[in-house]
A and B are shown apart, each in its own frame.
Chain A
Amino acid sequence: MANLPEAGRVLSRASRVAQWRWVATLLVACGAITVFFPFFWMAVTSLKTPPEIIRVPLQVAPDNWLNLANYREVFQRENFVRYLFNTALVASIAALSSLVVSSLAGYGFAKFHFPGRDAFFLAIVAILMVPFQSVVVPLYLWVSRFGLLDTYLGIVAPDLVSVFGVFLMRQAIEMIPNDYMDAARIDGCSELGIFFKVILPSVKPAIATLLIIKFMWNWNEFFWPLVVVNSPTMRVVTIGLMSFTNIYFIEYNLLTAAAVISILPILLIFLFLQRWVVQAVVMSGLKG
């Protein structure tokens, strides 16, 4: 029975580990609820009437959980349908165009040898170091010179290609064995044909990742639209949201309703496609 104290110590250690696991879970859960709270509070406020939100003492639950008057008012005051459409259009164009150009470039960089290839690739990666705000004034002047202020093309222009896309597609296409392309070449396929019939179908996960993350980025874009958009009909949702604020008086019941409208599509996309988004973030992180 010499090993009895030993067994006891092992047991107590195991139970201590289990206890710690519980404490960790509890802390993580509390933190998660804290992080989630602003979303909850936004949704709850959007269901309250103006007298309810200034009621003292503060009451968490709205009187009527199905009070959608604020949402109706938001759509009446501002053309949010148009804003949602504009944003979806601009974000889709940005995602698709960046997919096409990035995958073409990714294919060129991954599978061909031409003079200056590595230098060009380094130059593109170096663009990551150029903050957008450092080029915004000349870009604005160009866009206005071409008469593109207040147009879809003007809003989407700087987002048509992303460095991350080129990087991601090059990485993915490099994994494709050269034999696939050579087989297609022997069958008489053109280089562009190989690109569409062999390369693109083999990198579907990378395509999905790029489309999703680019769409999310552009949905939430604010700085550039703020610079180029003047007329109400060309607003994107982030700009439309700002029309519910002013320095003196903000109707928070309407503001939160507008905020819910503006972020709901992207939150749903995120929740359903979370795996891809996380993968994209980890990739973009690796890129540094």
Chain B
Amino acid sequence: MRQWLRIVLPKSYMDRQRRAGFLFVLPALLFFGSVFLLPLAQSVVQSFYRNVPGGADQFVGLRLYEKVFTDSIFWAAVSNTVHLLFMSVPSVVVCSLAVALGLNRIASLKWRNVWAAMYFLPFACSLVAASLVWQWIYHPVYGILNAALGVFGIPPQKWLQSLTQVRPSIAAVNIWIRIGFDTMIFLAALQSVPPEYYEAASIDGASAWQRLRHITIPLLNPQILMVCILELIFNFKIFDQVYATTQGGPASASQTVIMLLYDTAFKYFRFGDASVIAVFVFITLLVVTLLQWRIFRKPVEY
């Protein structure tokens, strides 16, 4: 308390310095407090209240949680999201790692930059534009994907309009969107590996596979873990891609958690139910992030 009083009423030069430091930080603190912490607390509070149109909010305890968590629509959305996650996260991590390894082997710096730029490009593209262009590629009648498959005698598929193909199709779009981001991180990490390690391994007669398995992958461990977590979070929050293309269809086969949150809040204006989903999303991602910290605390083995 005394410390704070001395900041408000500085007595010495050092007090004034402390006050200056605090004032520099203050705008950011106020902003984050009012845009993230206060609304987060409100989300939690709101999840205990049923809002009656035109009337006062009514405290209902855990009743809204019971309502949402016993709703099969909610669990269908969770299951769709997890499906998407399992289809896109491992593939995008493996693909981008492979791309980064390949790019790193290209000797000509000019060509490496050209190919790398092509992989990075989707990162700059908005999710909406990307999804809509893919929707055109996936078009069941006039799409180029079916035309290309037709060359090999494969009959036209319905892709985004099929109950079974819609999730893999969206997962493929996600992989395309994210490959640039992940490749950038892996490539930067690969370029910081000291070449002496590989020279020493070559002298010892290690094969390319052994060098990958025993030098590269262990050294990239932190980045691989981090990319996995970032992808988990990104894919769990999937919204734009679904909203722009299928709107959750066909027959809710691509309804995701954030889609459900958006519809509940801004289509049906059930803010209480939406807050329950918001709290669910927050807790889920919190657990994922804390797990990440636990994993990161373990010393990485070289």
Closest Cβ of chain A to B212, distance in Å, is 12
Q: Which of B36, B42, B122 contacts A35 (CB 8 A)?
A: B122
CA gap between A137 and B42 in the complex, in Å? 9
Given contacts A58-B147, A133-B237, contact A241 B129 (CB under 8 A): yes
B133 at the A interface (CB under 8 A): yes
Given contacts A35-B176, A138-B38, A163-B32, contact A252 B27 (CB under 8 A): no
CB nearest neighbor in A for B34: A142
Q: Indicate if the CB atoms of A142 and B227 lie closer than 8 Å.
A: no
CA gap between A282 and B188 in the complex, in Å? 7
CA gap between A285 and B258 in the complex, in Å? 24
B162 at the A interface (CB under 8 A): no
B69 at the A interface (CB under 8 A): no
Q: Indicate if the CB atoms of A39 and B121 lie closer than 8 Å.
A: yes
B61 at the A interface (CB under 8 A): no
CB nearest neighbor in B for A104: B24
Q: Indicate if the CB atoms of A241 and B132 lie closer than 8 Å.
A: yes
CA gap between A252 and B129 in the complex, in Å? 12
Q: Which of B101, B114, B247, B281 contacts A131 (CB 8 A)?
A: B281
CA gap between A220 and B17 in the complex, in Å? 40
Which of A117, A124, A138: most chain B Cβ within 10 A?
Answer: A138
A88-142 residues with Cβ-Cβ distance < 8 A to B are 101-102, 104-105, 107-109, 111-115, 117, 120, 123-124, 127-131, 133-142
Q: Indicate if the CB atoms of B237 and A131 lie closer than 8 Å.
A: yes
Among the 9-residue stretches A64-72, A76-84, A202-210, A262-270, the one with 4 or more Cβ atoms under 8 Å from chain B is: A262-270
CA gap between A45 and B135 in the complex, in Å? 13
B285 at the A interface (CB under 8 A): yes
Chain B: residues with Cβ within 8 Å of the partner, total of: 98
A180 at the B interface (CB under 8 A): no
B224-261 residues with Cβ-Cβ distance < 8 A to A are 226-227, 229-230, 233, 237, 239-240, 243-244, 247, 258, 261
Produce 1/0 per residue, B29-46, CB < 8 A to A.
Answer: 101100111111011001
Given contacts A36-B121, A54-B142, A105-B27, contact A134 B179 (CB under 8 A): no
Given contacts A238-B128, A282-B185, contact A157 B223 (CB under 8 A): no
Q: Indicate if the CB atoms of B36 and A127 lie closer than 8 Å.
A: yes
CB nearest neighbor in A for B179: A35
Closest Cβ of chain B to A187, distance in Å, is 16
CA gap between A167 and B120 in the complex, in Å? 24
Task: Give chain B's interface secondary structure class.
Answer: helix
Q: Indicate if the CB atoms of B39 and A135 lie closer than 8 Å.
A: yes
CB nearest neighbor in B for A29: B115
Which residues of A sit under 8 angstroms from B28, Cβ to Cβ? 101-102, 104-105, 124, 161, 166
B117 at the A interface (CB under 8 A): yes
Which residues of A sit under 8 angstroms from B29, Cβ to Cβ? 105, 120, 124
CA gap between A24 and B181 in the complex, in Å? 21
Q: Indicate if the CB atoms of A139 and B46 lie closer than 8 Å.
A: no
Q: Indicate if the CB atoms of A53 and B142 lie closer than 8 Å.
A: yes
Produce 1/0 per residue, A179-197, CB < 8 A to B.
Answer: 0000000000001000100
CB nearest neighbor in B for A44: B144
Q: Indicate if the CB atoms of A112 and B18 lie closer than 8 Å.
A: yes
Given contacts A33-B118, A57-B147, A262-B126, contact A27 B275 (CB under 8 A): no
Q: Indicate if the CB atoms of B27 and A223 lie closer than 8 Å.
A: no
Which residues of B sit under 8 angstroms from A115, Cβ to Cβ? 3-4, 7, 18
Q: Indicate if the CB atoms of B121 and A133 lie closer than 8 Å.
A: no
Produce 1/0 per residue, B171-192, CB < 8 A to A.
Answer: 0000010011100110010000
Given contacts A111-B21, A129-B286, contact A101 B127 (CB under 8 A): no
Q: Indicate if the CB atoms of A136 and B265 lie closer than 8 Å.
A: yes
Q: Which of B27, B102, B141, B282 contacts A104 (CB 8 A)?
A: B27
18 contacts between A and B (CB under 8 A): A28-B115, A35-B118, A42-B129, A42-B133, A54-B141, A105-B28, A111-B21, A113-B18, A113-B21, A115-B18, A133-B258, A136-B261, A137-B46, A191-B24, A222-B243, A245-B244, A281-B184, A288-B229
Q: Which 3 A-B pairs have the closest CB atoms?
A: A112-B21, A108-B24, A105-B28
